[in-house]
Amino acid sequence: MKSALIFALGALGLLAFANRHKSTAGARRVELPLEQPRRPRARRMRFRHRTPDGLLDLNSATLFELKELTGMADGLAERIIENRPYMTKIDLIGRRVIPDATYDIIKHSITVAYAA
């Protein structure tokens, strides 16, 4: 009885393997391009210091990224980098890094990511 059961299971296994081999052989093959098109490096780098919501992290943003913010002058961006790290974005005002008017303009575009 055992040998008949083993024979039946082996036959089913071979049958399943043969059917699988037939289904993959007859399937259309899609030609994949040899090289995947990649986004330019500059575009990938631009969003590296942003959260999924699009907010710019003050503790890791580059000078270029800070200058892109509306109302941000070169000197203010340099001062932000010099006074790192920040615990909250209100530290910009508390430490007198940027004026209140500039903070009111950029406060909805920035965040502070906490170090793990």
Q: State if pTM tops 0.75.
A: no
Residue 30 lies in a domain: no
Question: What's the total number of domains in the chain?
Answer: 1
Residue 70 lies in a domain: yes
Domain limits for position 94: 41-111
In 1-116, where do the E strands start and end? Answer: 56-57, 110-111
Residue 61 lies in a domain: yes
Residue 46 lies in a domain: yes
How many C-alpha atoms does 60 have within 13 Å on its Cβ side? 15
Query: Confidence band (pLDDT; 50, 70, 90) for 95?
Result: very high
Residue 31 lies in a domain: no
Residue 76 lies in a domain: yes
Could you identify the residue written with the tokens 């780098």?
A: 45
Residue 17 lies in a domain: no
Q: Is the pLDDT of residue 67 over 70?
A: yes
Token pair of 77 as six digits = 């961006």
For residues 75 and 83, the answer to whether their CB atoms sit within 8 Å is no
- Interatomic CA distance for residues 110 and 103, integer angstroms: 10
Residue 53 lies in a domain: yes
Q: Can you give the CATH number for the domain in which 98 is found?
A: 1.10.150.320
pLDDT in tens, 30-54: 665 566 666 555 555 555 678 888 8
pLDDT score, position 30: 60
